[in-house]
Amino acid sequence: MTVISKINLDTALLPKGTLMFADLIALLAKDPSLSATRRRDLMSGLRRVAKALGQAPQNVPADSRWLQPRLAKRAPAALGLSPKSWQNAVSDARAAMVHARIVERRSNHLSDLSSEWQALWTSLLAAKDKTLQPALCRFVHFLNNQGIGPDQVTAEHALAYRDALAQNEISKSPDGAYRAAVNGWNLAVQRLPDWPKTTHPLESRQKIIKLPEAAFSAAFLQDLERLMARLANPDPLADEGRARALRPATLNQYRRQIIRFASELVHAGLLLDAITEIAVLLAPANAERGLRQMLTRTENKSTKLIGETAALLRNLGRITGQPEEVQKKLADLAARLAPAPQRGMTRKNRDRLRILQNEESLQRLLHLPDRLFAHPPAGKTNTFTKALAREDAVAIAILLVCPIRIKNLAGIHLELHLQRPGDGRAFLVLSEDDLKNERPLEFELPIELIRMIDRHLASRSPELCPAGTAWLFPRRDGAGSVSPGQLSARISKRVRKETGFEINAHLFRHFAVMTWLDANPGSYEVARRLLGHSEVSHTINMYSGLEVKSATRIFADLIETKKGRRT
């Protein structure tokens, strides 16, 4: 009988003979060229990095391509380390790999550069431009080491730099550093008179699917306008009339979805000129063609977006009075692509919330806004950076007591949504027009949060926006509110950096219900009102099971109490 040993898939693709951290530690321990202090630091760095990865040193390969994606996901706060301590640990681990000649030593001294590069770099330093030096320093030294002069740099050299980073970087993103270097080079062309005048292209990371409306024919856009007008001003006596007009936000969503689906058809090979009216999108062959195009990006699996698109096509077929056989086919496509109804939260969200059931972790999150507001980024002197940190603190503080959607958070207007009766209290008031289900919500804000908001508003100008800006989370020109996506990304990044927790803006809604049900098992009606759900059944469907821990604990306490009575 043949016995096959179990394969470690985590390291199965590494080259044979790859050294492990334990091997490096053994080599360092015997190396007479190192001082005792330097030997200790390098060995300590290797051990701390291995511990951060949850592995013993003998299981961590000294391979940059293996280490980089794993270390990039580690947040210092989650490890109980300051950013500086973590940076030192990674730096020492990399230095140990340099000592073993696994990766290249970094060159960052002016004396390492050729006379041409020295002159150019001196002019850059004299400009005191804080954005250029960190972006370009390593790139310039890479070019110098390759014998490439300032006037010889091409886009191919930048790509070679990205490959070198992938080979030598163990924690930071090689692609991020490469893009920063190219952007920095192009900015230097604009800002520094002595810099070579050749700019380099940078491929966009954004995959553009939705074509601009202007790309479509005038006839199609006119038909789209007629449809939007009909949905905005329904005729209740028409055969397929709607009793109520669609909200502007819903109309905008429908418009985007229609343009996107028309774009999918173009990507699938349909000529732009052939799309002359909405009915073209609803022809069964085209509807299936466009939906199949969407499925090519999801491994032939339906998603929420695909399901919603198919449902919209079905509804448009009915609204525009398409023939019965067309409506039947569209309904069939929508039924096939309808995603399974969600029952409860996803495993990923449950895992993220489970961390917050630990009292120490919970307190770190609850006290984050106050700590961040009182002590914005340590070691930073930039007033904009501090003001932005305080704005993030306000956003997180609001989400902790007002579990609203990110769109409503981003759109808070100081006069429309923050109501102050004049007795020191303040209320966050969201009207029917603000909310997804058209049910108003109102939250009384804690006095500490009111004070935080007032202190922030008194100090945020001119760093974040002009004085008198009417939005709590404004764009930098003060002309409107920040985009929900941008604010959401900032909140996630800030929480991860400060606590190590993976929490997005929407998870605060789940956190609110978990906290409430933990203290009040089965109290779904209050949870429904807290979130603004229309039906309690929806709340139960989403959150049933969150209170299991509390319910079982209460039952266990009851049994212990009964036992006490019997004794």
Domain residue extents for the chain: 12-99, 110-191, 213-337, 357-500
Distance CA 337, CA 347 (A): 22
pLDDT in tens, 154-197: 999 999 999 999 888 888 889 999 999 999 999 999 999 999 99
Reported as type and span, the H/E element at residue 337 is helix 324-337
Distance CA 280, CA 287 (A): 9
* pLDDT (average), residues 440-468: 93
Distance CA 506, CA 491 (A): 10
* pLDDT (average), residues 351-355: 86
Burial of 255 (0-12, 13-18, 19+ CB in 10 A): middle
Helices (H), 31-102: 36-52, 64-72, 83-99
Strand, coil or helix: what is 453?
helix
Residues 6+ apart with CB under 8 A from 468: 461, 478
Distance CA 517, CA 344 (A): 14
Q: Give residue 17's pLDDT band: very low, low, confident or very high (50, 70, 90).
A: confident
What spatial distance separates the first Cα and last Cα of the chain, rounded to whole Å? 61
Q: Give residue 242's pLDDT band: very low, low, confident or very high (50, 70, 90).
A: low
pLDDT in tens, 270-316: 999 999 999 999 999 999 999 999 999 998 999 999 999 999 999 99
Listed residue (1, 8, 13, 97) closest to 49, CA to CA: 97
Strand, coil or helix: what is 77?
helix
Q: Which residue has the higher pLDDT, 345 or 177?
A: 177
Helix/strand/coil percentages in the chain, nearest 5: 60, 5, 35
**Residue 119 pLDDT exceeds 90:** yes
Contact 456, 358 (CB under 8 A): no
Helices (H), 402-547: 406-410, 447-459, 484-499, 507-519, 524-531, 536-543
Q: What is the DSSP code string of 347-370?
A: HHHHHHHHHTTSHHHHHHHHTHHH
Give the per-residue pLDDT at 34.
93
**Residue 540 pLDDT exceeds 70:** no
Cis before 462 (ω within 30) = yes
pLDDT in tens, 194-238: 999 999 998 877 777 899 999 999 999 999 999 999 998 877 666
Give the per-residue pLDDT at 546.
64
**Residue 566 pLDDT exceeds 60:** no
Listed residue (392, 370, 348, 390) closest to 502, CA to CA: 348
Torsion of CA 326, 332, 337, 341, to 10 degrees: 130
Distance CA 422, CA 334 (A): 53
Residues 6+ apart with CB under 8 A from 523: 516, 517
**Residue 471 pLDDT exceeds 90:** yes
Give the per-residue pLDDT at 313.
97
Distance CA 185, CA 142 (A): 14
According to the per-residue pLDDT averaged within each range, which of 100-114, 156-170, 521-535 is highest? 156-170
Distance CA 14, CA 9 (A): 10
Phi, psi of 161 (to 5 degrees): -60, -40
Contact 89, 81 (CB under 8 A): yes
**Residue 378 pLDDT exceeds 60:** no
Q: Give residue 567's pLDDT band: very low, low, confident or very high (50, 70, 90).
A: very low
CA torsion through residues 489, 504, 392, 477, sign: positive
- pTM, 2 dp: 0.72
Residue type, 52: A
**Residue 252 pLDDT exceeds 80:** yes
Reported as type and span, the H/E element at residue 438 is none
Distance CA 277, CA 225 (A): 11
pLDDT in tens, 35-90: 999 999 999 999 999 999 999 999 999 999 899 989 988 888 878 888 889 999 99
Give Cα separations from 117 to 191, 227, 478, 513 (angstroms). 17, 62, 42, 59
Q: Which CATH class is domain 357-500?
A: mainly alpha
Distance CA 189, CA 202 (A): 15
Residues 6+ apart with CB under 8 A from 563: none
Mean pLDDT of the chain: 88
pLDDT in tens, 482-522: 999 999 999 999 999 999 899 999 999 989 888 888 888 77
Q: Which residue has the higher pLDDT, 454 or 516?
A: 454
Residues 6+ apart with CB under 8 A from 25: 43, 46, 47, 57
Question: Where is average pLDDT lowest: 32-46, 187-201, 416-430, 541-555?
Answer: 541-555
